[in-house]
Amino acid sequence: MPFISTWHAQPLSLYSLKKELTGFHYGIDKNLAKRMLSYSWPILILGIAGILNQTADFIMFPYLYKGGQAHQQLGIYGAASKIAMIMAMITQSLFVMLTNLLFLARKKMPTAEKPMLLP
């Protein structure tokens, strides 16, 4: 049922946005594109290297694993790495939230009662 409602809602929403989606010209400013690429090519190369670093272990795992169940072990390894990634994201987000709360609480305290966390 959700598929059918989405199937009908998509053309209706596009039709309702007809005024916003028409009346302007798409174009590429070549000078701006050159300047952007001249500044961003190192980030592009580092991004590709980072993606390769994240996925190389999955590619190499069946060749490095000694045993007949390499693909089963690769599935377990992939699930464990996803769980580890989720745990790291949760830890990072909690750290950010707690530090924000600490700084907000510190800002509301009188000067004499502030803990000596930051100079």
Query: pLDDT tens, 16-51?
Result: 888 888 887 788 999 999 999 999 999 999 999 989
| pLDDT confidence of residue 118 | 52
Sequence-ordered list of residues with C-beta below 8 angstroms from that of 42, at least 6 positions apart, any chain: none
Which amino acid is present at 37?
A: L
Closest CA to 62 of 53, 75, 71: 71
| pLDDT confidence of residue 109 | 63
How far is 37 from 45, CA to CA, in rounded Å? 11
Residues 86, 88, 94, CA angle at the centre, nearest 5°? 100
What is the CA 47 to chain-centroid distance, rounded? 12
Which amino acid is present at 93?
A: S
| pLDDT confidence of residue 79 | 94
60-117 pLDDT tens trace: 988 888 888 888 999 999 999 999 999 999 999 998 888 888 777 766 666 555 555 5
| pLDDT confidence of residue 92 | 92
